[in-house]
A and B are shown apart, each in its own frame.
Chain A
Amino acid sequence: MSKEEKISFKSEMLPTFSERGFQPILERFCSVLDEHDLQPIDTLEGRSIHPLREGIENPFLKGFFKPYKMDKCEKICLSHCILMDRILVTALITIPDDDHELPMLVLEWSETENSISIVVDFIPLVDLVMREDYREKYLDPLDPYWTKYKGLPGMEPNRFAWSRMLFSPYYLSGAISKENEQNKRDCMDVIKSYLELWINLWQKGEPVEDDATRAYIKERKTKIREIFRANDEGAKTMAQMVGQEIIDLLLLCNF
């Protein structure tokens, strides 16, 4: 195997795993995020997440989970790891702070030798039935991208009802074959489009003005976090392979 390739990001050197033939997805995330001020987070909910920041090297899991503080956000977590030497999983999850009702950004990329699975969404932090203005402001701008990419071969509804319950009307998910270059380009473009749009909305984001809205956002984020942490089936399986402690920290970083 060739030497591990690394890229520079925020004064760190991150392993890309691209020497194994995976797409440059980490490079894509970093090229957008590098323009913004991100401060590393070392402790979450009173626990040190240092082991995951520095990187895990386990027979079944190799990679890193790096949460950062960013303006208007509680945290933004960039993770990049390989499961069992065969599945590259790269994710970017941003959780706005209690003063901002921006949607949560969820971008997940899972790649093997033959296919790329993606999940992309802006998870709303309000009840959309009661807040049509929210949909118009934060979610409807996704419509051109959703319309363009929903027909990619392999796109399908997410399997989990608990996920679909949280998602916006513009989520996309599916497993796309790597059999042609266009498919790979389209997968990269979906991710880039959702990320850049979210950054654009984030830049314009204004703090909410009333305490009731702030309290609702906080409560809803807590509930979303609980749902993710309790239902992630892959995390439950991984816990049996690499240990519950690592997986607890991993879920803490992501959600």
Chain B
Amino acid sequence: MIIEVIAKGIELMPSALPKEWDESTVVRLEDGVITITFRRGGVSITQGESPEAESVIKLTNKRLCGIIDGSIDFITVWRELAEPSPTDRTSILKGSGAKLFALLDGLIKCYQSNENFKRLLDNYKTRIKA
């Protein structure tokens, strides 16, 4: 499950986030929904959709993997999640992608620096291709 891969990435990721952040982002993926909570400089992940979440974002599993392993150009991701057209609600269903970016940043760094996480994501990608 992609959710297990993300949870592992969060555990391993090196980024320190601003302590004043207190916000949740829901990510709807193909094999489930997760709520990512940013609080006191940390990140936690729970299964399911928190109704209080400030932002709701929809991504395919393949796209999320492509963002993390760098096969999708980061500027494309920036355009889609940070500079969406006001009339385009394909990915951002509510709020903004700002906080998700912090998570993606951490996961990308983790993919580049941690062999275990890289193997985990690469194996998952191989499975979804098959």
Q: Is B99 part of the binding interface, using a Cβ–Cβ cutoff of 8 Å? A: yes
When the two chains form their complex, are residues B84 and A233 in contact, meaning their CB atoms are under 8 A apart? yes
In the complex the two chains form, what is the Cα distance from A32 to B16 in whole Å?
40
Q: A84-B105, A234-B78, A236-B96 are in contact. Are A160 and B85 (CB under 8 A)?
A: yes
Which B residues lie at the A interface, using CB under 8 A?
15-16, 70, 73-76, 78-79, 81-86, 96-99, 101-102, 105, 108
When the two chains form their complex, are residues B75 and A233 in contact, meaning their CB atoms are under 8 A apart? no
- For B85, the chain A residues whose CB sits under 8 A away are 159-160, 233
Q: A233-B83, A233-B84, A236-B96 are in contact. Are A84 and B101 (CB under 8 A)?
A: yes
Which single member of B15, B96, B105 contacts A237 (CB below 8 Å)? B96
Stretch of A100-108, A111-119, A142-150, A181-189 that contacts chain B: A111-119
Which single member of A83, A85, A160, A240 contacts B78 (CB below 8 Å)? A83
Interface size on A, residues (CB 8 A): 24
When the two chains form their complex, are residues A237 and B73 in contact, meaning their CB atoms are under 8 A apart? no
Q: 10 closest Cβ contacts across the A-B interface? A: A240-B98, A237-B82, A233-B83, A234-B83, A86-B74, A237-B98, A114-B73, A112-B75, A112-B74, A84-B105
- For A113, the chain B residues whose CB sits under 8 A away are 70, 73-74
Q: Is A168 part of the binding interface, using a Cβ–Cβ cutoff of 8 Å? A: no
Q: A59-B16, A160-B85, A237-B82 are in contact. Are A110 and B75 (CB under 8 A)?
A: yes
A16-50 vs B, CB cutoff 8 Å, 1 = contact: the mask equals 00000000000000000000000000000000000
